[in-house]
Amino acid sequence: MILAEQFTALDNLLHSTRHYWQCTAFDFDQLPWPELEQPLTLLSDQQVADLDSNQDALYQFFSPYIPVVNNLATLCYLPQASTTRSEYPFWISNGIKGRKFAQLQDFVCALGQESQLPVLEWCAGKGHLGRMLAFNRAPSVHSIELQQHLCEQGQQSALQQGLAMHFSQADVLKDDVTEYFQQAQHAVALHACGALHQTFMSNAASAQTQKISLSPCCYHLFTPNDYQAMSDAGKRSQLQLTHRDLKLALQETVTAPSRVDKVRKTEVQWRLGFDALRKSLSSEQNYVSVPSVNKAIFSDSFKAFCAWAAEKKALDIPQGIDYESFLKKGEMRKKVTERIELVRHVFRRAIEVWLVLDRALYLQQQGYQVSVQTFCEKQLTPRNILIQATVKDRKEM
């Protein structure tokens, strides 16, 4: 299936099923889909967690109830790039955690045969990716990074290791960065977020940079709440995506440590319990969020959390409140919320692939030959999609 056909088929499916995924779970006290109430209610909490961690199992479970789910595995399929990892000396991996280093190895491997093009490394951090490319005989690497101290640390490492790298400090969303992009160049960006990778793409395309390789991440960051499609096909779509929808694309995660998962579940229960308390004391019956807070608060008591949240929402809590009853209401709503989220998560990869294809089609419009693949296993990172683009020969255009 060519990219344009894959995009159109996904677009139609997502539009027809938007009542399943384009909603906010916290807004509901009960399941909003009568046809799913029985199968979802019969699931234990552990079964919900197990399904949520396995996308193929999610498709299989929901396909009898939402028939178009049968098409999702095919429409979300992306071929896997070669991942035969190269060996690196210990000093290349020094300071890089194991999973991150494995991601970098697979990303570099997926870029293909050694290129003689100079490299532009976007949102480089300390330049870990650039150092690996320089070690692999890239003639030079120019690393662009916002934080000056990371530029300095990366430059020092490159000098110590004798690698052909230099760093430039820049705020790529505010500064004029056009001078960094050249035609005879390979521009790379691993997990640049939202507008950071969109700016990277548009500048590289404007310069007709010969080769572009990127793995997008955090599609909602630094962007307007209403998604602005990049490709003509995306602009014609009837989908109206917001930050909430873009965040859904990121909700497939590697298994969190049990302690982190326990805190997260406590937080959801307490927030929903406080919301039930707030509704009992006010005329506002829609869910109202409270600000983010240091997770240490969830090691205290539910009563203390309610006092903090009430202060943030200018709510007076009278004496004699039965906090235990509202905590139980929070637990019941958490069960509903988790099952609504499970339904929404059926479509999380589809939304991400839709967003990636929007970017791929944009690059095709700019005169590039484009491929979309996965570069590593999900266990290393669910953000494992690689877009590669090479300028077409002018005779082909």
What was the pLDDT predicted at 86?
85
Q: Is 291 left (phi over 0), alpha (psi -120 to 50) or beta?
A: beta
- The span from the CA of 148 to the CA of 126, in Å, is 10
User: Directed axis angle between helix 258-281 and helix 323-345, to 10°?
Assistant: 120
pLDDT of residue 75: 98
Give the pTM.
0.94
Residue 95 confidence (pLDDT): 86
Give the separation between CA 256 and CA 279, rounded to whole angstroms.
32
What is the tens place of the pLDDT at every residue in 284-293?
889 999 999 9
Q: What is the pLDDT of residues 110-136, one digit of tens each?
A: 998 767 899 999 999 999 999 999 999
CA–CA gap between residue 396 and residue 384 (Å, rounded): 30
Residue 397 pLDDT: 44
**What are the two backbone dihedrals, phi and then psi, of residue 349, each rounded to the nearest 5 degrees?**
-70, -35
Tens-place pLDDT, residues 361-373 = 999 999 999 999 9
pLDDT for position 260: 86
Q: What is the pLDDT of residue 234?
A: 98
Q: Could you list the pLDDT tens digit for every one of the 397 residues in the chain?
A: 799 999 999 999 999 999 999 999 999 999 999 999 999 999 999 999 999 999 999 999 999 999 999 999 999 999 999 878 888 999 999 889 889 999 999 999 999 876 789 999 999 999 999 999 999 999 999 999 999 999 999 999 999 999 999 999 999 999 999 999 999 999 999 999 999 999 999 999 999 999 999 999 999 999 999 999 999 999 999 999 999 999 999 998 776 667 888 999 999 999 999 999 999 999 888 999 999 999 999 999 999 999 999 999 999 999 999 999 999 999 999 999 999 999 999 999 999 999 999 999 999 999 999 999 999 999 999 999 999 999 997 555 4
Please name the helix (run of DSSP H) or strand (run of DSSP E) that holds residue 140, with its range, or none.
none
Query: Quick one: pLDDT at residue 394?
Result: 56
DSSP structural state of residue 298: G
CA atoms within 13 A on the CB side of 137: 4
Alpha-helical regions (H) of the chain: 3-16, 18-21, 34-42, 45-52, 55-62, 72-75, 90-93, 98-110, 128-135, 148-161, 195-206, 232-236, 243-248, 258-281, 302-312, 323-345, 348-365
Is residue 1 within a helix (H) or strand (E), and if so which, with residue range? none
Distances (CA, A) of 84 to 106, 110, 211, 346, 381: 8, 9, 22, 31, 17
Which tokens in the block code for residue 122? 């976007």
* pLDDT tens digits for range 13-53: 999 999 999 999 999 999 999 999 999 999 999 999 999 99
C-alpha of 7 from chain center: 18
Question: Token pair of 263, please?
Answer: 């805190």
Give the list of residues 6+ apart from residue 5 with CB closer than 8 angstroms, or none. Answer: none
